[in-house]
Structure 1
Amino acid sequence: MRRIIGALAAVGAITAGVVATNSIASAGDQYASYVALGDSFSSASGVPNQVSLNCTRSDNNYPSLVAKELKPSSLTDVTCGGATTVDMTGLQLPTMNPPQFGALKPDTELVTVGIGGNDVPFAGVVMTCGSMGAFQPVGSPCKDHYTRGGTDRLAADIHKVGPKVGAVLDGIHQRSPRAKVLLVGYPALMPESGSGCWPAIPISAGDAPYLRDATKLLNTVLAQQAAAHGATYVDVYTSSIGHDLCALPGVKWVEGLLPTSPSAPIHPNLQGTQNQARQVLAALHR
């Protein structure tokens, strides 16, 4: 979802001590080959150190952290900011990145994929709600916009993502029939209760619960697709409650429009990627 804000936060070096203080328990399973697919919530846009500027990919994204614990013989990480389900099998424009499915092999043993948000597209929803709420602290202009006429168009768009993600999971199984496949959900963006934190996040009071519930709906759709297409759903939302955009610096795991920790705006910071990794490892351990 890197399209929310074009400019990324400045990228700096990160010390090993920071990672050491946030250790992640090992899943205990061994996988010889690991392929990571997904969008900017998987590539960790803006989080140091950015090792692919083209894809805004960090060497501290959750695939890298998971690989540090599992120690597979190989990690092929093709996560890329802005990716949609179409980019699994087609060139990702405008960067001309090759199809992410090209990384899958018949002997791949582990695949993680985080996809679907850009298919809504959720970035556009946040921009729409933010522009409508910038001068309107109360009310629900964004919800009113999407539900005008009695139909919730945003909810309908989210439901349409389901079959697309299901096709992605089927495509993974076809190309890597031996692989354990994990579908990684999205973290909490808005507070679990209350009316948000206008004006720091310019979402009107009535729209904060609407966006919160939209994120939950997207995760529900993803979980349903995982269950129907032979994948394990990784819930990162529940563990991230209380670490949303409105939390204080050092507590938040998703940065706001003006990041206080290196990250792209409205994206996980290092603490967020560490939580994603913990949840992936926990899912593998179950």
Structure 2
Amino acid sequence: MNWRRSTGLAVAAVAAATALTATPAGATHAFQHYVALGDSYTAGPLIPWQRGDPPGCRRSSANYPAVLAKQLGVRSYVDKSCSGADSTHLTQPQRLPFGGSHPPQADVLRAETDFVTVGLGGNDYNLFSRIMETCPQLREVNPVGSPCQEHFTVDGIDTLKATVGQIEGNLRLAFQTVRSKAPRATVLAIGYPRIAPETGYCPSVLPFADGDYAWVNDVEEALNAAIATAAGATGVSYVDTYGPSLGHDACAGDAAWVNGNRRFAKAAPYHPFAAGMQGIAGVVQAHLRGKVIT
């Protein structure tokens, strides 16, 4: 499997993460009041250590907002990300497992908020969960074909890609909400890192049929493109993490930023590891410095 193509890009992403870690703890930056909003790819379910505010959000104290807050030296930092959140949960409460609810995430935005990261979209219309719950089952029937793509294609229309168009509209409203509640803030829309490799397969870790790997990449690229388009239409800056995560997909072994289906890893299945959170934080830092990694 050729998982290491474009090694220079992977090295650049790791270098960015390393530079972030090396920033002096007392460094001061332009931002003083940081708010992080998002879903599980922001929250970091099962990454040690998990916060309990509330436990149902499965939010890690080592996710990328926590890394950024420390290294940017902000005066105040609020992380309202919550696993399972979709774009509606910016303005509506989110019901949590085992009871209770999480308040609308955008409620914490204030006029003095000057830096916001938003990582949403993958849970709208259950986009990611439909892939992760359906594709492994279909692989058992047809391991070398593309049964998942065929399952979601109806009358020649890829229904998941069609759903992405609706998600773009949702995100425009979400980003507009953030900008209206925090008009002074620099707002960054954070894309999703790569889950599947560009080439090759690792069915023991990522149990998709061989032909569905490329399709999963296509769906994820479409989602990231929708995030970028919605961001551009609302004056929000898009941060690409998909390109910089080349070589850090779930098949990449010790270099992986994202877990596959492993149940006893230090990350939820199909979610970022702590190393992925460090990598994403490094990409965001590079973006803020104007050094966009592609």
AA partner of residue 115 (structure 1): L
- CA RMSD in angstroms comes to 1.7
- For residues 259 and 285 of structure 1, do their structure 2 counterparts lie closer, same or farther at Cα, with a shift above 3 Å needed? farther
Aligned match of 1:230:
235
Structure 2 gap ranges (5+): 1-16
SS of the counterpart of 2:243? Answer: helix
Cα distance in structure 1, aligned partners of 2:28 and 2:163: 38
Q: 1 CA distance for matches of 2:146 and 2:159?
A: 15
Letter in 2 for 1:203: F
Correspondence 1:172 to 2:178: yes
Partner residue in 2 for 1:136: 142
- Equivalent in the alignment of 2:273: 269
Alignment length (residue pairs): 264
Counterpart amino acid of 1:78? K
Aligned counterpart, 1:87 = 89
Aligned to 1:156: 162
The verdict on how the C-alpha distance between 1:164 and 1:154 changes in structure 2, with shifts beyond 3 A counting, is: same
CA contact (8 A) 2:205 2:250 kept: no
Question: Residues 29 and 285 of structure 1 are in contact (CA less than 8 Å); yes or no, is this contact kept in structure 2?
Answer: no
* Counterpart Cα distance in 2 of 1:285 and 1:259: 37
Q: How many angstroms does 1:38 deviate by?
A: 0.2
Mapped pair 1:77 → 2:79: yes
**TM-score scaled to structure 1, two decimals?**
0.88
Q: State the TM-score, normalizing by the size of structure 2.
A: 0.86
Distance in 1, Cα, partners of 2:256 & 2:204: 17
> Which residue does the alignment assign to 2:67?
65
Name structure 1 gaps, 5 residues minimum: 1-20
- Contact 1:106–1:178 (8 Å) recurs in 2: yes
Task: State whether structure 2 residue 220 is matched by structure 1 residue 215.
Answer: yes
| Structure 1 residue 260 displacement after superposition | 6.2
Say whether residues 1:39 and 2:56 are aligned partners: no
Aligned to 2:82, the other structure's residue is in SS state: coil
Cα shift at 1:148: 2.9
Instruction: Check conservation: 1:254, 1:268, Cα contact below 8 A.
Output: yes
- Is the 8 Å Cα contact of residues 115 and 187 (structure 2) preserved in structure 1? yes
* CA distance 1:228–1:29, shift in 2 (3 Å): farther
Amino acid across the alignment from 1:105: R
Native 8 Å contact 2:29 2:74 kept in 1: no
Q: 1:258 aligns with which of 241, 255, 262?
A: 262
Spell out, residue by residue over 1:50-90, the C-alpha distance to the aligned partner (whole angstroms, 9 max, x if none).
11322111111000100111111100110100000111111
Question: How many Å separate the matches in 2 of 1:167 and 1:285?
Answer: 28
Give the corresponding residue for 1:18. Answer: none
SS of 1:209 mapped into structure 2? helix
Paired-residue identity, %: 38
What per-residue deviation string (whole Å, max 9, x for no partner) do you get for residues 173-197 of structure 1?
1111000000000000001123x22
Aligned to 1:97: 102
Change (3 A) 1:100 1:47: same
C-alpha deviation, 1:28, in angstroms: 7.1
Q: Decide which moves more: 266-275 or 89-98.
A: 89-98
Please state how far the C-alpha of 1:124 moved relative to its aligned partner.
1.7
CA distance in 2, matches of 1:226, 1:259: 34
Counterpart CA distance in 1 for 2:250 and 2:142 is 19
Runs of 4+ in structure 1 deviating by more than 4 angstroms, as ranges, are 25-28
Letter in 2 for 1:161: I
Query: Contact 1:37 / 1:79 at 8 angstroms: preserved in 2?
Result: yes
